[in-house]
Amino acid sequence: MTAATSKDSLYRGALFIHTSNGRAMSDDLVELITDAQWARLAQWSCMYQRNVRDILETMSPMLEQEDHSSNNCRMVGKIPYGSKDTIFGCISSDGSTHT
């Protein structure tokens, strides 16, 4: 994750990183994705007949720390809106979505 510059800063980082083999998901950030967020991604996978990896690549999310009291992160990016469309929004750590 991106280092904070002061005690008041929250952390954020891109889920996908560029490697010599192309794009890969950051292992450190994958561990921060909650079960509720995985469940939301799985729900979209079933609804739109797309695999979760494809949804994440389209979303290209940034993980942003929600508050100072936990390591919970919201996933911010292009969330599915219909089978082909997206809308900018986020998935909170509890799995709820916001646009």
The predicted-structure confidence for 38-56, as pLDDT tens digits, reads as follows 999 999 999 999 999 999 9
pLDDT at 70: 85
| Residue 8: exposure state from Cβ atoms within 10 A (0-12, 13-18, ≥19) | exposed
- The whole-angstrom separation of Cα 64 and Cα 49 is 27
Helices (H), 4-51: 27-30, 35-48
Rounded to 10°, the helix 52-59/35-48 angle is 100
pLDDT digits (tens, 9 = 90+) for 48-96: 999 999 999 999 999 999 988 888 999 999 999 987 899 999 999 999 9
**pLDDT at residue 6, as a whole number:** 53
The tokens of 10 are what?
Answer: 């929250």
Confidence (pTM): 0.85
Do 40 and 89 form a contact (C-beta atoms < 8 A)? no
